[in-house]
Amino acid sequence: MALAIVAGAGLAAGYVTVQKGATASAAGSNEAGKVAHSRSGSGGQAAEATVKAAPAGTAPALPPSIMPFNAKLTSKDIPVAGGGVRGGGCSGSLIAPDWIITAGHCFHDLDGTRVGGTPRYHMAVAVGKINDQDPRGHVVQAVDVRQSPVNDLALVKLSEPITDITPLTLPTGPPKVGEKVDFVGWGSLSATVVAPADHMKRGHFQVEQIHHTELQMTPLEARTVENSPCHDDSGSPFFVPDGDQHGRLVAIEDNGPDCPQPGLETTARVDTILDWIHEQMG
């Protein structure tokens, strides 16, 4: 008996569930109408973790999850102009027991403008899973949003702390050009059919360009929808892995070309706002 882990990725935009006759765009959580496109990571390769045999009459012991700090954000009631609601999603990562980090445009008003405070729609946050059926991990709610003053990044407070998963550590200094990072996300597996994936995707990138509040990332392998960001991958972490359980956060996905087309991923730097992050979580 084994658990299969499919690697890949995606970015921010939402699947549409319109009610009350309203019309909604298929673009999901975007700032000022801008659609963010994300990518995925390991070309659809599967990694297997063997489940240990258990005594008769008991459930088998599950192995530790892979990259358990990953977070899948989903909503079914995002209001749309003219009435009605739609669904949408983003990705993120745990950085403290009761905080995740994601893209700022995942939380917005009717005009697509980033907003903070109590979310204006319900956003479920699944942490520590590798697919939707994974019994491990937690599903909690987003209860408070803090929007970065300088880039498209947000901190999200959770309805309850998650104490059995080690969060990603924050950077201690600026990244370097050529630094290798991993990406994990829950974005769409199609550039045209927009819906969150049912499994965690994973890809491998490196820092290509460094700007004041953003980083440009380039893939280290041929792009597929499984290994690079797509719709609903906004907020996905780019991190330096330390085994398959821990890592150091470098940046989060904001936008990029239509997946899986060539081009650089635009990500929000984390190191430039460390003081602000600590102040919000303090």
What letter would DSSP give residue 282? -
In the 3-class helix/strand/coil scheme, how is 71-112 assigned residue by residue? EEEEEEEEECCCCCEEEEEEEEEEEECCEEEECHHHCECCCC
Alpha carbon distance 138, 132 (integer Å) = 11
Percent helix, strand, coil in the chain, to 5, is 5, 40, 55
- Length of the chain as a residue count: 282
- For residue 161 the two structure tokens come to 């702390």
At 239 the pLDDT is 98
Q: Which residues of the chain have pLDDT under 70?
A: 1-60
Q: What pLDDT does 58 receive?
A: 55
The fourth-level CATH superfamily of domain 2-19+26-46+66-281 is Trypsin-like serine proteases (2.40.10.10)
pLDDT in tens, 23-61: 333 333 333 333 334 332 333 333 334 344 445 555 567
Query: What are the helix (H) ranges across the chain?
Result: 274-281
- Cβ neighbours of residue 163 closer than 8 Å, sequence gap 6 or more: 97
Take residue 218 and report the two structure tokens written for it.
Answer: 């380039």
